[in-house]
Amino acid sequence: MKLTRRSFTTTALAASSLVAAPTIVRAQEKELIVISYGGALQEPHRWLGDKLQREIPNLTVRLVPSESQDIVAQIKAAQGFSPYDAMPNGEPPHLIAIRDGYIQKLDPTRLENYDNVVPEFWPKTQGYGVPATFSLIGLAYNEEMVDTPPTSWADMWNEEYADMVGICRTSSNLGLGTLAMTAKIFGGSETDLDPAWAKLKELNPLAGRSPRILAQMLERGEIAVAPLWNNDAAVAAEKGLPIKFVKPDPGPVAILSVMSEITGARDTELVYRWMDGIISDDYQELAAAAPYYFGVTVQGVDVPEAARPYTPSTPEEVAALQTVDWAEIVKVRPELVERFDREFAT
């Protein structure tokens, strides 16, 4: 390049503006903060975040693991100035978030992949967020401690597993799902949970404070059998731990996870790009693969062979999936959390 007087001046100007105005440069940087899962289950989110970072210049996607449970408390305390932009919720907290106004209604016209989604999932979102994935609550067991694997929910009460069954606290979706399912098979319902409390108490179970901790208790052999998320069981099995997952009769509980925009998100456009990514074929294919085995919510994505033990793979199995009337459960969630202590901590 021939350095003329003019080109020198422009170059110098450009350079000095870069030096002089770092704030301008920084203003062009974008950030998206998304609540995610803990451990290996975070990887599909990371993959999507990296993809967006490549597509959008100056974007940083930060994932915050929600294992610590205090995310919602922070959002609530922030009073509309949430430090986070998007979050996945299982159905129970999704309903609470809608009720308390922490998440925003979805504008379907802003999503390119809207029609990808299996239509039956949309009503479950109540018009908020996109159906991200679904997971199953089934029974996991430690192979080294169990001679005859359980095949049905009722098997939890088998003599063989006496005093070796774990359950999760009702502060988690897993615990609530376990409670609802127990009610159903022992003649109760979402509105009549007393039979479930009685039966669970009869188990003299060891309780886990969170699904992750319950999985670890199973890994360490503190318990032999426990209702568990398919994904946690799969990740443990993949690591070579003696953990097996069964879809117990009459069927595992399926819970949809909905990815939503948090009230007060700084850049709605980015959040929509993120949600669009969640319901893209590429993302869903990855999430459905080993070792995560998330249930897919879009049409036309093949479920890999290895996912068979963890996801419904035949039409009969799909038909057997159990659903829970979460609206009823959510109404009494605080009492259910306290009831757990009344039953098991005293």
Question: CB 6: neighbour CB atoms within 10 A?
Answer: 8
**Biggest alpha carbon–alpha carbon distance for the chain:** 91
- Answer yes or no whether residue 345 interacts with other proteins by CB under 8 A: yes
- Residues binding other proteins: number (CB under 8 A): 39
- Answer yes or no whether residue 66 interacts with other proteins by CB under 8 A: no
Nearest CB to other proteins, comparing residues 111 and 193: 193
- Answer yes or no whether residue 220 interacts with other proteins by CB under 8 A: yes
- Whether residue 227 is preceded by a cis peptide bond, meaning omega within 30 degrees of 0, is no
Q: Binding residue for other proteins (CB under 8 A) from 222, 267, 285, 317?
A: 222
- How far is it, in rounded angstroms, from Cα 136 to Cα 258? 14
Q: Do 174 and 254 form a contact (C-beta atoms < 8 A)? A: no
- Answer yes or no whether residue 125 interacts with other proteins by CB under 8 A: no
Q: Binding residue for other proteins (CB under 8 A) from 76, 124, 244, 331?
A: 76
In this structure, are strands 243-246 and 86-90 parallel, antiparallel, or unpaired? Answer: unpaired
- Answer yes or no whether residue 69 interacts with other proteins by CB under 8 A: yes
- Answer yes or no whether residue 143 interacts with other proteins by CB under 8 A: no
- How far is it, in rounded angstroms, from Cα 136 to Cα 151? 15
Minimum CB distance to other proteins, residue 190 (Å): 19
- Answer yes or no whether residue 212 interacts with other proteins by CB under 8 A: no
- Reference 276, options 284, 287, 265; nearest CA is 284
- Answer yes or no whether residue 280 interacts with other proteins by CB under 8 A: no
> Which of 14-22, 54-62, 202-210, 311-319 is the region at the interface with other proteins (rule: CB under 8 A)?
202-210
CA distances, 120 to each of 90, 115, 116, 339 (Å) = 16, 12, 12, 34
- Answer yes or no whether residue 214 interacts with other proteins by CB under 8 A: yes
- Answer yes or no whether residue 73 interacts with other proteins by CB under 8 A: yes
**Residue 302 CB-density burial (10 A; 0-12 exposed, 13-18 middle, 19+ buried):** exposed
- Answer yes or no whether residue 201 interacts with other proteins by CB under 8 A: no
Please report, to the nearest 10 degrees, the dihedral formed by the alpha carbons of residues 38, 43, 44, 45 taken in order.
60
- Answer yes or no whether residue 213 interacts with other proteins by CB under 8 A: yes
Q: Do 100 and 263 form a contact (C-beta atoms < 8 A)? A: no
SS3 label, residue 293: coil
Nearest CB to other proteins, comparing residues 45 and 212: 212
Task: Give the x/- contact pattern for other proteins in 91-120, rule: CB under 8 A.
Answer: --------xxx-------------------
Q: In the window 310-339, what residues touch other proteins (CB under 8 A)? A: 333-334, 337-338
- Reference 52, options 86, 27, 77, 75; nearest CA is 86
Q: In the window 151-190, what residues touch other proteins (CB under 8 A)? A: 167-169, 171
- How far is it, in rounded angstroms, from Cα 147 to Cα 2? 82
Minimum CB distance to other proteins, residue 97 (Å): 11
- Reference 329, options 192, 153, 129, 168; nearest CA is 192
- Answer yes or no whether residue 124 interacts with other proteins by CB under 8 A: no
- Answer yes or no whether residue 244 interacts with other proteins by CB under 8 A: no
Nearest CB to other proteins, comparing residues 69 and 268: 69
Judged by the rule CB under 8 A, the positions of this chain that interact with other proteins are 69-70, 72-73, 76-77, 79, 99-101, 145, 167-169, 171, 205-210, 213-214, 216-217, 219-222, 333-334, 337-338, 340-342, 344-346
